[in-house]
Amino acid sequence: MSTEREVLLDIKDLHVTFGSGKKAFEAVRGVSFQVYRGETFGIVGESGSGKTTIGRAIMRIHPTSAGEILYKGSRINGKISRQLDRQIIQEIQMIFQDPMASLNERAKVDYIVSEGLLNLNRKLSNEERMKRVQQALAEVGLLPEFASRFPHEFSGGQRQRIGIARALIMEPECIIADEPISALDVSIRAQVLNLLASLQKSKGITYIFIAHDLSVMRYFSDRIAVVYKGRIVELAETEELITHAAHPYTKALLSAIPMPDPVKEREKKLTVYDPSLHDYDKNPPEWREFRPGHFILANDREIKEGFRE
């Protein structure tokens, strides 16, 4: 992947703060990255690391406190024109973690899937709407008659498909998938991942894939950013990140992936990340290119001598 690829999203020194004054909590503390058109950009980190907040800031759900989010070159955080707002709503969509909680229990699938469409175009004819719903359902592998049913009639995997159809109907260019498979059974996980992959192939959708689990990430993402306490600590292409992980936190995440090999698993040493290993008080870390295309948050000493283990 080289620099000549089109940058779809450019995030520059993004900060997100919740609360104010003494109670202020900075959930995202200056992250910068670019997402190229058509790629899958993975954001991995533990609960509370701020990975979801980054996704939601891009969606304009959380206001940003500093920094810029550029979408196709224009700024989309803070105050923007009504027209741009509508464009963003249509072009950036989201898929949520829990398919049991993210669908309106009292609405039929037909309404759930087309609600966003109606919001953008109130004059949409009923026939046109139904046609688009049917098409979106077909694309995610659901039958057209499902449109008249309620969410509780479906299994977890089917519900997640409905969530994906709801995003697809808007014909988005970018989908932010926030832990889309962690609430699903293993066998259904594979189905949903395959569906997302095939949609990307046929429609060229860009994904921002948020998860806590590197085992899914390394299969699914082109590039991965590792987030720890509101900062990206390492970013590289998937293969590069896995074979040349440098940051101790990335290493801890890698060592935690459970592998289906009992003998090896029993011998495996678990790496636990200890943030006190860094000497950042006197020598603060900087975001730098460590190998070509491989970025890392480290201070001078760590670059020279390597990270303490």
Partner 1 sequence: MVIHMNQEVILSVRELNIKFTLRGQELHAIRNVSLDIYKGESIAVVGESGSGKSVLTKSFMGLLDNNGFISSGEILYGGKDLAKYKSEKEWQKIRGGEIAMIMQDPMTSLNPLKTIGEQIAEAVRLHQPDIKGKEAVRDKVYAYLQDVGIRKPELRYKQYPHEFSGGMRQRVVIAIALACNPKILICDEPTTALDVTIQAQIMRLLKDLKVKYDLTILFITHDLGVVANIADRVAVMYAGDFVEIGTAEDVFYDPRHPYTWALLSSLPQLGQKGEELFTIKGTPPSLYKAVKGDAFAPRNPRALEIDFLMAPPVFEISETHKAKTWLLDPRAPKLEPPEGIRNLKNLEVLG
Footprint of partner 1 on this chain (CB under 8 A)? 46-48, 155-156, 185-187, 189-191, 193-194, 197, 212-216, 218-220, 238, 242, 252-266, 268, 270, 272-273
CB of 48 to partner 1, least distance (A): 8
Residue with Cβ nearer partner 1 (121 or 155): 155
Q: Nearest CA to 32 among 13, 9, 47, 48?
A: 13
CB of 234 to partner 1, least distance (A): 15
Residue with Cβ nearer partner 1 (46 or 91): 46
CB of 63 to partner 1, least distance (A): 26
Residue with Cβ nearer partner 1 (11 or 224): 224
CB of 301 to partner 1, least distance (A): 26
Residue with Cβ nearer partner 1 (16 or 44): 44
CB of 255 to partner 1, least distance (A): 8
Residue with Cβ nearer partner 1 (22 or 264): 264
CB of 183 to partner 1, least distance (A): 9
Residue with Cβ nearer partner 1 (73 or 260): 260
